Structure 1
Amino acid sequence: MGKQNLDRPDLSYIERAFFALRLEMRSFPREVICAAMATDLPNISRFITVARTIPEDVVAAIGPAPKAGRPRWMDLAERIQAKGRATIDRFIGNEAFRVMSTDERFAAVLAAVSSKPTAMRKAKPKEWLDGEGRAVTRIERTDKRFVLTIDEELEQELGITS
């Protein structure tokens, strides 16, 4: 029956990966799994590694994603291993996620674990002008700093005097 299922043309990479994992969990030797899946040991190892790394509930939420293919599923597995699944859990419960197609869900999850936090760009400095239009203070902000500069010659009361 497993061989018949594997011969179906519409099995996706992740479906094949979980099939290999289930065979291994039932204590079938890798050689038997290779024969059942008509592939070699390195491919079986990749299938099983991906299936062990990506939680089954995440795969169930994404679906088969037939357009994703082996490289992208392997990439997702590596990113989940590196980052964990906290970001993914936020997506899975979202109604907008559930109405996407399976390939769109895969792309959304991969993008979520691939994105890096965006650093705050250095904002353009702002200046406070006095009544005569002279820049008395200058404010500069970045993601890690806030710098306030006071022109002591123009505003001696705000500056630090010795």
Structure 2
Amino acid sequence: MNKAKDRKNALDTLFSGGGMAGMVADATAPRPRLSSGAIGAAEINLIKDERDRLREELKTLNTQMASSVNVVELDPEQVQPSFVADRMEVAFDPAFEALKESIAETGQQVPILVRPAPGESGVYQIAYGHRRWKACRALGKPVRGVIKELSDEELLVAQGQENHERKDLSFIETCLFVYRLAQDYPQTLIVKAIGKDKSLVSKLRKLAATMPEEFLRVIGPAPKIGRPRWEEMASFFEDGRLASNHEKAVTSLFALDSFTELHSDERFSEVLQLLQETPAETEASSAQTAGEIPVAAHTRKANSSEWLGNKHVLVKHTGKATVFSVDSKTQSDFSAFLLKELPGLIAKYEETKGEDA
């Protein structure tokens, strides 16, 4: 019961000290040995209770931070990211562009949380708020933040809880975050950081370990791709490697400009379909002896993608269709404009057809 009370104020005591240290100590302390069934049920119920409390506490956390007298303006160049990365870098992130636009128009509403960087005077390290920091740096604006003395473990728990309660990370980003933490920290701390039970934490770590990180970075965060499809992708790997045929086919696909121009979710789908369509080595035809790989018409050389305007419309050409995509979140006004103008464009096209006839 005392442990539950200690956990209750974990987040709202970030500004007064004490609570976070207690939570981390509890996370790393050995637990009594009980039957495996009792441990599983107890931990699942505890995590559910904590998740419900954290959701409510996080609603007030932003208000607390925004009104805190400890909020200061920091030079973005004197701020560095967490020592454990939790996001994949992508060439174009619509959500980040929307955040940057919002900060440019209305300012940074929610401060970031930082600690003094160990061994570096005047430099700060982020616990959370990486995208806000990057947006402010790109805009040449100071970043508003709360400075808090945090141990490595406290920083990681704060980083993980904030990201995962806000559902900011994709499934594969969560897997990689868990995998990186597992290199140096106990499973009990990871459970605290991401709010998942030990069994799921173990599965996330193993999935990330199945595929090379460089392979995952080429595909990107794939925010719409969940666990079942990533598990299917992982099934093509053995000891961290693809079969020879699959590896050659994927390498060829990765080299195509049209592939790199796709959204991350589309890149995942392209790679998975390629693996499904490329014969395994045991099914290889005699053509392979000449160095050829029978990669179904999936090499996609006939496919291409291009952006129109300032990332307003993504045009994807395939063998069967031309698809125009507009991000309804970041380009909602333009989307509405297109819908309004399309009938006129279609009528104009029909008139042109009539004239040509």
TM-score band w.r.t. shorter chain: 0.5 to 0.7
Match of 2:225 among 39, 52, 68: 68
1:6 aligns with 2:164: yes
- Name 1:36's counterpart in structure 2: 193
Match of 1:98 among 225, 235, 260: 260
Match of 2:181 among 23, 36, 39: 23
Same amino acid, percent of matched pairs: 34
Shift, 1:119, TM fit? 9.0
> For each residue in 1:103-122, what CA deviation from the matched residue of structure 2 results, as whole angstroms up to 9, or x when unmatched?
110001111111243999xx
Query: Would the alpha carbon gap of residues 8 and 89 (structure 1) be closer, same or farther in structure 2, given more than 3 Å must change?
Result: farther
Checking the alignment, whether the CA contact within 8 Å between 2:220 and 2:264 is kept in structure 1 is: yes
Amino acid in the other structure paired with 1:39:
K
> For each residue in 1:55-101, what CA deviation from the matched residue of structure 2 results, as whole angstroms up to 9, or x when unmatched?
11111111111111001111101112384333322221211110111
Query: Would the alpha carbon gap of residues 86 and 40 (structure 1) be closer, same or farther in structure 2, given more than 3 Å must change?
Result: farther
CA distance in 1, matches of 2:203, 2:230: 10
**TM-score, normalization: structure 2?**
0.31
Amino acid in the other structure paired with 1:16:
T
Query: Would the alpha carbon gap of residues 109 and 23 (structure 1) be closer, same or farther in structure 2, given more than 3 Å must change?
Result: same
Structure 2: 5+ residue stretches without partners: 1-158, 286-357
Aligned-pair RMSD on alpha carbons?
2.0
- Name 1:112's counterpart in structure 2: 274
**Runs of 4+ with >6 A deviation:** none
Shift, 1:24, TM fit? 0.4
Shift, 1:34, TM fit? 1.2
Checking the alignment, whether the CA contact within 8 Å between 2:161 and 2:192 is kept in structure 1 is: no
Amino acid in the other structure paired with 2:232:
D
Checking the alignment, whether the CA contact within 8 Å between 1:12 and 1:65 is kept in structure 2 is: yes
SS at 1:100 equivalent: coil
> Between Structure 1 and Structure 2, how many residues are aligned?
119
Shift, 1:5, TM fit? 2.5
Shift, 1:6, TM fit? 2.5
Checking the alignment, whether the CA contact within 8 Å between 1:58 and 1:92 is kept in structure 2 is: no
> For each residue in 1:105-141, what CA deviation from the matched residue of structure 2 results, as whole angstroms up to 9, or x when unmatched?
0001111111243999xxxxxxxxxxxxxxxxxxxxx
**TM-score, normalization: structure 1?**
0.66
- Name 1:123's counterpart in structure 2: none
- Name 1:45's counterpart in structure 2: 202
Structure 1: 5+ residue stretches without partners: 121-162
Shift, 1:32, TM fit? 1.4
CA distance in 1, matches of 2:255, 2:210: 20
Amino acid in the other structure paired with 1:5:
N
Higher mean C-alpha deviation, range 87-96 or range 57-66: 87-96
Checking the alignment, whether the CA contact within 8 Å between 1:80 and 1:113 is kept in structure 2 is: no
- Name 2:248's counterpart in structure 1: 86
CA distance in 2, matches of 1:48, 1:61: 19
Greater relative contact order structure (CA < 8 Å, 6+ sep): 1
Query: Would the alpha carbon gap of residues 31 and 67 (structure 1) be closer, same or farther in structure 2, given more than 3 Å must change?
Result: same
Checking the alignment, whether the CA contact within 8 Å between 1:83 and 1:113 is kept in structure 2 is: no
CA distance in 1, matches of 2:251, 2:190: 32
CA distance in 2, matches of 1:57, 1:119: 27
Amino acid in the other structure paired with 1:112:
L
